[in-house]
Chain A
Amino acid sequence: MLSKSNLQSLLFLAVAVGITLLFLTGQVGGVLSGAGLPAYKADLFAFLAIVSVAVVSLAFGGNKTMIMIGGTVTAFIVLTAFQDSMVRYMTLGAIFFAIGAYGMVASRNAVRMLMSIELMINAANINFVTFSRAVDPEHLGGQLFAIFVLTVAAAEAAVGLAIVLAIYRNMATVDMEKFNLLKW
């Protein structure tokens, strides 16, 4: 059976998808121009609507993960539907970067923090390859830079995980909240 929080988040998903469909069919722009507001900023208004609905349903106790995933996907579609192809790819990169930054700040397990850093490095790689395709398609400078980033990321993963193992051997935990060796 559906619990109350699942029902809440399903309701949010329905509202968010409804706003997205209204935006894609051009209704939001029509309403804005009727109210005397600039219609070319319709995507920002739809984005703000989705964010405020998400905040309200979080305040009423919906399932947090479902609301965040649904809000991010619909906001991504709203923000990129009428943009250039290049802006689309780079917005996806920005979303990965933001998710990685969130995980890096909020996660308690040190290994999960390293995974979030890998996510952020991949977001940067998406941007490099996008620039390589759109701006520099003959010399492929962005792809070459992405190859070097891949190399550095491999080195970073090896050293970072070795450091985590050394910490685990000394302190018998990988909880970030318990690493206060530099505090005095």
Chain B
Amino acid sequence: MEGFPQLTTWAQANVEQAVFYLLAVIAIPLAYGVVCDRNIIRSGFLLIGVFSTIAGLFILLSAQFLALAQIMIYGVGITLVVVIALMLTNPKAEKESMPALSIHKGPAIFVACFLFMCVYLALRSAENWPVKTDVAALSAAENLSRIGQSLLTNYSFHFEFASILLLAALIGAVMLAKAEPAVHDLNELSANEDKLKSSERADDVVKV
């Protein structure tokens, strides 16, 4: 029991680390929920929680603009698109017919653990990061103006190219998702129309 006062004094001394661990302990189960939850609509909504905790991490890293952009683009935009796609693809029928994860679980777990251990051991053994701990982080207004100036000066080519990419993706998505009947559907459609016409004519003949 005497550990708790120590923990509170530690948390008061290192607020950033305490908040970081709090966010991490929230985010990891949410990420597992996204991957493993049997109800896929619920995992779509858990994705909002993951993105919000990541926005909290960005605020801890003093990237305020990016945190708000994260909430706007990921937490609302992309998650909304995902949930709408889920509703359009009828997940209720899928849920009954299959478990959340496939039979390739063992290789998947192996690949995930291998990836994590590679990245972690590389991070741990690397010394001499060129870290500038003495430089204080920019304030929020300074951060925003620096990002805006960089986007319109040094990174202006990339900025324009991103707008072209978004336009192309928009047109491509509309083209792919447009409900265009396939060729054989068209043939069936015309055949059905012919049948209908002939049956109407037969009805007319009967009436006459």
Contact = CB atoms under 8 A, between A and B. Distances in A.
Interface of A: 21, 65, 68-69, 72-73, 76-77, 79, 83-92, 94-103, 105-109, 111-112, 114-116, 118-119, 122, 125-126, 129-130, 132-140, 143-144, 146-148, 150-159, 161-166, 168-170, 173-177
**Cβ-closest 3 pairs across A and B:** A155-B169, A103-B35, A162-B176
Contacts of A154: 73, 77-78, 166, 169
Interface in B100-141: 100-102, 104-105, 107-109, 111-113, 115-116, 119-120, 123-124, 129-133, 135-138
14 contacts: A72-B28, A84-B131, A96-B27, A97-B119, A99-B32, A101-B115, A119-B50, A129-B61, A133-B63, A134-B129, A134-B131, A135-B129, A144-B147, A161-B82
A46 to B, nearest CB: 14
A73 B181 CA distance: 49
Nearest to A151: B162
Given A91-B123, A144-B155, A147-B66, A105 B107 contact: yes
Interface string B26-43: 011101101110001001
Interface of B: 3, 16-17, 20-21, 24-25, 27-29, 31-32, 34-36, 40, 43-44, 47, 50-51, 54, 57-58, 61-63, 65-66, 69-70, 73-74, 77-78, 81-82, 85-86, 88-91, 94, 97-102, 104-105, 107-109, 111-113, 115-116, 119-120, 123-124, 129-133, 135-138, 143, 146-147, 150-151, 155, 158, 162, 165-166, 168-170, 172-177, 179, 182
